[in-house]
């Protein structure tokens, strides 16, 4: 992608801010504009070089921009898309970083109308329990996957430009159907978050806060690290993807029921079989990833 | 504890080996003997300074020892106790590191008979998915908790010596009833392991190995790190503590059922409430622990 043009980031937090920093480091754009309703975040975005200029609102931020990155929480995507629709330039593209895709695709279709082909749905598999511009860093996407979920109507040239963008930031781009995306992420991301939150909550209820953590070994700390994530964001994601998440949760609860039955009949072999398959797979992936430097 | 005497470690792996290395560094004993049926592990224990001398069997290892540390898997504790019972010296104490306490206490009562008061049940909350003498390190217990679960019959002087031992190794010793220990650890350790193993196994079944990990973000890696643990060891622990683990699992499944109902009725507030309690508690503990250097 030759340098030039303007990147507009709506929501210059951990993901949006990191994308802007990385794009600046890669020399992808000549101008960087951002919009956030949070004034302190905006000042931080300016001082950290995430943006050269802050806009007063989302519509003003995207006017004149070539590459529009929507990095607001999934629940805010619909309003944001509606706000920018009137001022998106004719040659511009819009992409997003939302953790769910079908609801955002639907919101984009409704808000953008005949400009819907200019929208390339995306989801970088990066981020942590931290958030905000303060946590943004140019290497956040290096060696991480970015999933793009273009539709039949999506302009292939714009999809290619978005893929080029993330590749330049060090990410590995993959393409997926939006429905499949939401089903898969319900299992690999949304369900684990629900389990971690609810396990910590369950232990608080059963043992009280002091004992719950007092008698926890190291493994529990790792296991529940994602329970320190933004509760409101994950409640939104859970609701936005609730059909797929419910299916994932139901399937997992059935599996737990089988393990409970195995425990009830003291069936050590059944436990060892389940644990063994998981351990072998987890170890093989852990070592592979470490070799790739994806620790 | 004045230096002198002999430490016998049955099972000089990660936990037993680390305890011996730390005890040597702290100058707690003059002699270090170990027994393992694994010849390669034995050679490693000698070369790493975990032991000065290897015994041919457990009974020979404890003859003449003052402090006997049983660091074999929980399922092997009964046989080990029976094997050493005839050769334990009259002034010696026996302690263990098992992750479950009631079944080991029962095994010790059966194997040791009138020498049962010389046995101090213990459980250091340290360890990882690694194991073996190769992973042993002198600082493994620093700033970690060690739970001792003495009974009414346990000799208080021996309990005090075991507490002194772990304190000298940098650990914080706490006392707990064995039944309470097994109930609490079922929630804080055994249940999280079962969940991590079964979640990975479920994803393998639903998505296949490649996609299960391909579309997993960073949180999933932390969440499932403990699924790389020793599957046989955890199947043993699960079965040894199956009554408490079943109760913990049943309670958690009920909580998941409530969350499924909340999802089914799109009750965002119920999700946010559960997630919010967990996130606040997890964050407050995370920051406290970090400040204490227990990262």
Q: What is the percent of chain B with per-residue pLDDT over 70, rounded to a whole number?
A: 94
- In DSSP notation, A156-225 reads HHHHHHHHHHHHHTTPEEEE--HHHHHHHHIIIIIHHHHHHHHHHHHHHHHHHHHHHHHT--HHHHHHTG
- Interval A120-155: pLDDT, tens: 999 999 876 678 999 999 999 999 999 999 999 999
Q: How far is CA B203 from CA A85, A226, B6, in A?
A: 39, 18, 49
- Interval B129-166: pLDDT, tens: 678 999 999 999 999 999 999 999 999 999 999 999 99
Give kind and range of the element (H or E) at residue B120. strand B119-120
Contact residues, B window 102-141, toward A, CB-based 8 Å cutoff: 125-129
The boundaries of the domain holding residue A216 are 181-264
Q: Would you call A224 and B253 a contact, using CB atoms and an 8 Å cutoff?
A: no
Shared domain check, A159 and A196 = no
- Give the per-residue pLDDT at B67: 98
Shared domain check, A138 and A94 = yes
- Interval B76-89: pLDDT, tens: 999 999 999 999 99
Q: Region B10-23: what's the mean pLDDT?
A: 97
Residue A277 lies in a domain: no
Shared domain check, A242 and A153 = no
Confidence of residue B109 (pLDDT cuts 50, 70, 90): very high
CA dihedral sign, ordered B70, B72, B78, B81: negative
CATH number of domain containing A64:
3.40.50.720
Nearest-CA residue of chain A relative to B290? Answer: A221
Shared domain check, A127 and A20 = yes
ipTM over 0.95: no
Query: Does the pLDDT value for residue A201 go beyond 90?
Result: yes
Residue A145 lies in a domain: yes
Residue B47 lies in a domain: yes
Residues from chain B contacting residue A219 (CB–CB below 8 Å): 128-129, 189, 192-193, 196, 225-226, 229
Looking at A139, A158, A176, the residue that finishes a domain is A176
Specify the 3-state DSSP secondary structure of A10.
strand
From the centroid of its chain, how far is CA B10? 15
Taking the CA of residue B279 and the nearest CA in chain A, the distance in Å comes to 4
Specify the 3-state DSSP secondary structure of A268.
helix
Shared domain check, A58 and A167 = yes
Query: Does the pLDDT value for residue A294 go beyond 50?
Result: no
- Whole-model pTM: value is 0.90
- Which of A44-53, A217-226, B160-169, B261-270 has the least mean pLDDT? A217-226
Specify the 3-state DSSP secondary structure of A250.
helix
Contact residues, A window 4-63, toward B, CB-based 8 Å cutoff: none
Task: Report H helices in chain A.
Answer: 14-25, 39-47, 58-62, 77-84, 102-112, 156-168, 178-185, 191-214, 218-223, 231-240, 242-264, 268-291
Shared domain check, B188 and B167 = no
Residue A282 lies in a domain: no
Q: Do the strands A67-70 and B6-10 form a parallel or antiparallel pair, or are they unpaired?
A: unpaired
Quote the CA–CA distance of A120 and A118 in Å, as a whole number: 7
Q: What is the tally of structural domains in chain B?
A: 2
CATH number of domain containing A196:
1.10.3660.10
Report yes or no: B186 at the A interface, CB cutoff 8 Å.
no
Instruction: Please count the residue pairs, one from chain A and one from chain B, whose beta carbons lie less than 8 angstroms apart.
Output: 304
Looking at B150, B176, B202, the residue that finishes a domain is B176
Residue B81 lies in a domain: yes
Residue A290 lies in a domain: no
Shared domain check, A170 and A143 = yes
Query: Does the pLDDT value for residue B294 go beyond 50?
Result: no
Shared domain check, B144 and B223 = no
Shared domain check, A224 and A152 = no
Shared domain check, B158 and B83 = yes
- The separation between the first and the last C-alpha atoms of chain B, rounded to the nearest angstrom, is 29
Query: Does the pLDDT value for residue B238 go beyond 70?
Result: yes
Average per-residue pLDDT in chain A? Answer: 92
Residue B282 lies in a domain: no
Quote the CA–CA distance of A253 and B199 in Å, as a whole number: 10
For testing the chain A interface, which of B15, B137, B188, B234 should be mutated: the one with the most A CBs within 10 Å?
B188
- Give the per-residue pLDDT at B287: 60
Cβ(B191)–Cβ(A272) below 8 Å? no
Facing A274 at nearest CB: one of B201, B252, B280: B201
Q: Would you call A271 and B239 a contact, using CB atoms and an 8 Å cutoff?
A: yes
Nearest-CA residue of chain A relative to B187? Answer: A203
Cβ(A144)–Cβ(A124) below 8 Å? yes
Taking the CA of residue A197 and the nearest CA in chain B, the distance in Å comes to 5
């Amino acid at each position: 992608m030759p340098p030039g043009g303007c990147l507009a980031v709506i929501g210059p937090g951990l993901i949006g801010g990191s994308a802007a920093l990385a794009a600046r480091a890669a020399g992808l754009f000549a101008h960087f504009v951002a919009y956030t309703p949070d004034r302190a975040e905006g000042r931080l975005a300016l001082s950290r070089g995430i943006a050269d200029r802050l806009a007063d609102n989302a519509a003003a931020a995207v006017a004149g921009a070539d590459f529009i990155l929507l990095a607001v929480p999934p629940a805010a995507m619909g309003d944001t898309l509606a706000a920018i629709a009137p001022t998106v330039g004719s040659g511009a593209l819009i992409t997003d970083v939302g953790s769910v895709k079908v609801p955002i695709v639907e919101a984009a279709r409704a808000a953008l109308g005949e400009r819907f082909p200019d929208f390339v749905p995306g989801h970088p598999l990066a981020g942590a329990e931290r958030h905000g511009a303060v946590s943004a860093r140019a290497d956040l996407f290096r060696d991480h996957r970015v999933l793009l979920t273009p539709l039949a109507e999506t302009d292939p040239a714009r999809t290619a430009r978005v893929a080029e963008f993330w590749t330049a930031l060090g990410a590995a781009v993959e393409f997926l159907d939006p429905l499949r995306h939401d089903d898969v992420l319900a299992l690999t991301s949304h369900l684990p978050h629900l389990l971690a939150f609810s396990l910590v909550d369950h232990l608080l209820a059963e043992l009280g806060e002091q004992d719950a953590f007092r008698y926890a070994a190291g493994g529990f700390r790792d296991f529940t690290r994602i329970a320190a994530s933004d509760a409101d964001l994950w409640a939104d994601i859970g609701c936005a993807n609730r059909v797929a998440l419910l299916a994932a949760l139901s399937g997992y609860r059935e599996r737990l029921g089988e393990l409970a039955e195995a425990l009830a009949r003291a069936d050590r072999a059944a436990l060892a079989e389940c644990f063994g398959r998981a351990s072998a797979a987890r170890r093989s992936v852990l070592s592979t990833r470490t070799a790739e430097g994806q620790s």
